[in-house]
A = this chain, B = another copy of it.
């Protein structure tokens, strides 16, 4: 099943509209191209509805949020909803400031998201209004001890918000409220490059755009793909390599990942 998800990205080559931050935007564009999709970035209120109309999906990321683009996010989101385009929300840094928390909540109210992807702190903040966000880095890790609790929490969030919920950490959880996939792919060095989360969200928009009738499976496949590529990139590192080469290797791995490798390399369990 995983391999079909990636095959569809490659055969349909969805055009994905991104309203995202200026820190990791180039990486998001390149990872979209790497997986077989096409990116377009546009955040001006006057054009976002038109732009999202020619796309197959939308990715909204609130890193480097500013007031000019909040109405653009809402307008694009509503238009995408009208057109039944799948949408990802990445609530970067929710909990780190009132502006981010409030904006993420407003977006959740006004736009129906197909997937919300964040770290545990960010999703907690959206769920209960109390975050423990350390900037954009999560301080709440998912481990063997708390995984059952986190899975329950994620399922609850998914049901309450009618969206697939993806919480990423050492273990990643993907759930629609009924089934939860726990993915064990990945490598800790992924947290040493900026924007691995942003890249995952952008790529997820491509996966769900190419598989609009299988949002849960597409999101799950995307998380496996990213983690597996994180492992492939790690194996490629030599002594002199550091996080900058790793970032190239990660996108290169996405470029070279085949559907069959994804199917074979995914490590997960269902809870």
Contact = CB atoms under 8 A, between A and B. Distances in A.
Interface of A: 15, 21-27, 29-30, 33-34, 38-44, 46-47, 50-51, 54-55, 63-68, 93, 96-100, 134-137, 192-195, 236, 239-245, 247-256
Given A22-B22, A66-B68, A193-B33, A243 B236 contact: no
A236 B240 contact: yes
Contact of A41 (B21, B46, B68, B137): B21
Determine the main DSSP class of A at the interface with B.
mixed
> Which 9 A-B residue pairings sit nearest by Cβ, starting from the closest?
A242-B255, A242-B252, A244-B251, A29-B194, A47-B97, A40-B135, A47-B99, A244-B248, A50-B97
Nearest to A48: B97
A193 B51 CA distance: 20
Given A40-B93, A40-B136, A33 B194 contact: yes
Given A33-B194, A252-B245, A41 B23 contact: yes
Nearest to A134: B15
A123 to B, nearest CB: 18
Given A26-B194, A39-B136, 6 more contacts: A23-B29, A26-B26, A38-B137, A44-B99, A66-B68, A243-B252
A47 B42 CA distance: 23
23 contacts: A15-B137, A23-B25, A24-B26, A30-B193, A33-B192, A38-B137, A40-B135, A42-B93, A42-B96, A43-B66, A44-B67, A46-B99, A47-B97, A50-B97, A51-B96, A54-B134, A66-B68, A68-B68, A240-B252, A240-B253, A242-B256, A243-B252, A248-B248
Contacts of A242: 34, 251-256
A201 to B, nearest CB: 16
A235 B54 CA distance: 35
Nearest to A257: B242
B135 A30 contact: no
Contacts of A251: 242-244
Contacts of A40: 93, 96, 135-136
B193 A247 contact: no
Nearest to A256: B242
Contacts of A30: 193-194, 243-244, 247
A247 B244 contact: yes
